[in-house]
A and B are shown apart, each in its own frame.
Chain A
C-alpha cells in the first residue's frame, strides 16, 4: 500500500546552518510586531474597549451607507457597520459611550428605536452585547495576567522536567510566538477580543508542545551520542522529529481550516489566529527554540553534571537492549 510521506526518511537538513538567518528574520518580525502594536495598535473588540455590538438579521439586504448615515446621526460617536457572513446579517459596532454602564444601555435603546423606525419590524436581533468601562478594564488585566501566568507555568514545568537551559529556550520561543501573533492581529486588523486571548493561550500550549517534543529528543540524544558536537546533536534531533512535527502541524491545520471555512463568522477570527499560531509555533520550535540552546550554553558536560536524574529515570533505555 502506498504511504504518503511528507518528509523522506533519514533527512539531514542542516537547520542550524540557517540559524543566524532565522534569528535575524525572527528579530525583524518581533521588531515589526512591536512597532505595529505601539503605533497602529490592536483593533480591540468591546470586551477590552467597552462599547456596544449589535448583530442584526434583515430580510432584504439594506444599503449600508443609508444605515450608516441614519445611525451616524444619533450622536453616539463612531458607528461601524459591516456585513457579517452574508448580506442580510449586519454587525453594528458603536464606540464606548461617555459615562457608566447605563449610558451604554441607553445607546442600545436609541439604536433599536432608530432601526425600528427605519426598517420596521422585520429586523431580528441576533446578538446584542455591551460592556461597560469597568468590566472591560478588568478583562484586559485578567487576560494579560492569564498569558503571563501561563508562560511562567511552562517555564517552571520545563525547568523541573528538563533543566534551566531548556526552559529559557522554550520561553524565548513562546514570547516569540505570542509577540508575532499580537503583531498579526495588529497588521490584519482582526478584532482582538476574549476569543483572541483564548487563541493566544492555545498557541502557547501548542507551541510548547511542539518544542517539548524536540527538546525531549535532544535530551535523549545527549545521553546516546556522547561524541557528537552540540550543534550536530541538535540538528540530528530536529531531523529525527521532523516528520512528527510536520504531521501534527498538518493535521491540526486541517482541523483549523475546516473551522475557518465552515465554522461560521463568529469563530473565524479565532481560527485565523490559530492557523497563524500553528505555523509560527512550528517554525519557532525548529528555528528558534532548538538552535537557541546552543547560544545559552547547553553542553555535554553541563548535561551530565546536573542532568535531572528524576526525569531521566522515566525513560526506559534499558528495555531496548532486551
Chain B
C-alpha cells in the first residue's frame, strides 16, 4: 500500500477539526457562550419541543367562514352600488346561497344600468379573468358568481392575514422564539418553546376578536317570539344567561379603526379603554353626535359585550368598554384588540404539549442510552478485532462528533426520535468497518501480504458499503420528505449519520490504519 496521500490527510484533518470545534459549544452553558468572541462557533443543537418542553398547535383557517364573509360583503357591495341617492335601481330578493349572490330587478329594463353600477364589483385579476361573473337571465334575475380563483385568492389572503395576527397575539404574550408558519393551503403551524400550559394562548387564538359598534334597534321586540326587522339582527350577550339584543346590522365603527387598547380600572371595575385612529374617531364622533340618548351595542364576535346609552357626543376618539370583566379577561381583551381581528375563526386540529420535566427526562435517558450503547459497541469491537477494533472506535467517536457538529451548524432540530436515530447510527456505523475488516481477513486467508490485504480489503468493500448505505439513505430521505415533526428529526439524524459514518469508516479509519502500518510494517496481520 502506498503512503496515504497528503491531500486526503488534510481533508480528514479539516473535517475532524470541524467536527470537534462545532460540537464543543454544546458542552458549554448558554450564558458562557455569549461571552465568547464572535469568531468562535457558538451554535448549539436546537432542541425539539419534545426535549425542551413546549407546545405545538396546528390551526386551520375556517374556509367556510371566509367564503361566507366574502359573500356577505358582496351583498353589501351590491346594495351600496344599486342604492344611490336620487338614482336608485329598484331590486328585490337580494340573497346569497354560499356560492353566488343574486337579486331580481324590479324593472328588467334597468339591466344595463345595473351592469354598469355593478361593474365596480368585478375586477380583472392577474390572470386576465374577472373575479366576479355577472349574469342576467330573461326575467331580470341578476347573479354574481365569484370565480374559483378569486375564492382561492381570498382564502390565501385570509391565511396570510391570520398568520400575521397570530404572530402579533403570540408575541404579546411574551413567548420566546415562537415559530409560526403556513402549512399547506389553509393551515398554520404554531410552535411555542417553553410553554407547557398553552391554555391561555389557545384561548387567545380561539377568539376572532372582531369588535364592532352598532346602534340598538329599539323598534323591535326583544322577546324570543318577536320578528327581527330587516337590516337588524338578534345577538346574545357575552355574559352567560344574559339577555338578547336586537341591533342594527350596519356597523358604526369597527375594531379595524382602533389605535390602542389597554386594560384599566373604572370605578374599581376592570375595563378596557380604547382609542380610535383618525378615521375611527371621526366615525365614532359623528355616530354618537347623531344618536345622543340612544343606546349603542359593543359587539365582540357576534356577542354583545354591553350596550351603554350615549349621554353626549364622544369626540375625543377614546372610549371605555365595560362588561363585567375580571382583571385577566380585561387584559386578554385589550391584547386581542391591540393585535387585531382574525379574518376568520381558527380551529385547533392538533395539539402536542410537552412539559419541561418530560423533556429533561427524555434528554437524560437519551444520553444514558447513547453512552451505554457506545461503550457496549466499543467493547464488542475491540474484543472482535483488537487494534483494528480500536481504530473503528476512534472512527465511531469521530462520527458522533461529526453528527453533532453538522446538526448544530445546520440548526437542525434534535428530537427524541432524533436521539434514537443517533443511538441507532452508533450500532450501524461500525458496519462499514466490519465489512472492511472481514474483507481484510478473507484476503489474509487467501495468503496475501498485510499491505495487499488491507488495500484490497478497503477497495473491495467500498462498493458494498456504498450500495448498502445508499439504500438506507433512500429510506431516510423518504422519511424526511414524507414524515412530519419528530419523525423528520429522526430522518435528519439518520441521514447525517449515514453520511458521516461512511466518511469516518472509509477515510478516517483507513488513514489511521495506514499510519500504523507505515510505522510498524507488520509481517503478519492480527485481525
Contact = CB atoms under 8 A, between A and B. Distances in A.
B143 to A, nearest CB: 32
Given A153-B478, A198-B417, A202-B494, A216 B484 contact: no
Nearest to A56: B355
B372 A212 contact: no
Given A1-B526, A259-B373, A153 B487 contact: no
A94 interface: no
Contact of A150 (B349, B386, B478, B526): B478
Interface stretch (B93-101, B292-300, B377-385): B377-385
B464 A213 contact: yes
A319 B197 contact: no
Interface stretch (B76-84, B244-252, B405-413, B419-427): B419-427
A12 interface: no
B326 interface: no
Interface residues of B, number: 83
A24 interface: no
A315 to B, nearest CB: 6
Interface in A245-259: 247-248, 250-259
A279 to B, nearest CB: 13
B58 interface: yes
A149 B385 contact: no
A135 interface: yes
A204 B475 contact: yes
A125 B58 contact: no
Candidate in A198, A204, A250, A315 with the most chain B CB atoms within 10 angstroms? A198
Interface string B450-489: 0010011001100110011111111110110011111100
Given A3-B384, A126-B355, A209-B469, A256 B350 contact: no
Contacts of A314: 463
B428 to A, nearest CB: 6
B486 A9 contact: no
A250 B434 CA distance: 11
Contacts of A101: 60, 347-350
A244 interface: yes
Contacts of A210: 468
A231 interface: no
Residues of A contacting B: mostly: helix
Interface in B346-361: 347-355, 357-358, 361
Interface in A1-40: 1, 3-6, 9-10
A139 B474 contact: no
B376 interface: yes
A87 interface: no
Contacts of A168: none
B438 A244 contact: yes
A51 to B, nearest CB: 11
A44 interface: no
Nearest to B464: A216
B91 interface: no
A322 to B, nearest CB: 8
A241 B494 CA distance: 25
A213 B435 contact: yes
Contacts of B487: 194-195, 197-198
Contacts of B478: 146, 149-150, 153, 201
Candidate in B199, B420, B442, B476 with the most chain A CB atoms within 10 angstroms? B420
A3 B386 contact: yes
Given A258-B376, A259-B423, A4 B383 contact: yes
Contacts of B424: 202, 252, 255-256, 259, 274
A80 to B, nearest CB: 19
Interface stretch (B225-233, B276-284, B363-371, B516-524): B363-371
Contacts of B464: 212-213, 216-217
Interface in A196-231: 197-198, 201-202, 204-206, 208-210, 212-213, 216-217
Interface of A: 1, 3-6, 9-10, 55, 57, 100-102, 105, 108-109, 124-132, 134-135, 139, 142, 145-146, 149-150, 153-154, 157-158, 161, 194-195, 197-198, 201-202, 204-206, 208-210, 212-213, 216-217, 240-241, 243-244, 247-248, 250-259, 261-264, 266-267, 270-271, 274, 314-316, 319-320
Interface of B: 50, 58, 60, 196-197, 199, 202, 347-355, 357-358, 361-362, 365-366, 368-370, 372-373, 376-377, 380-381, 383-386, 416-417, 419-420, 423-424, 426-428, 430-431, 434-435, 438, 441-443, 445, 452, 455-456, 459-460, 463-464, 467-476, 478-479, 482-487, 490-491, 494, 526-527
Given A3-B386, A206-B472, A263-B419, 7 more contacts: A146-B483, A154-B475, A201-B475, A202-B494, A240-B442, A263-B420, A267-B419
| 6 interchain residue pairs of minimum CB distance | A255-B427, A205-B475, A264-B365, A252-B427, A258-B373, A205-B472
5 contacts: A128-B353, A202-B494, A208-B471, A251-B434, A252-B424
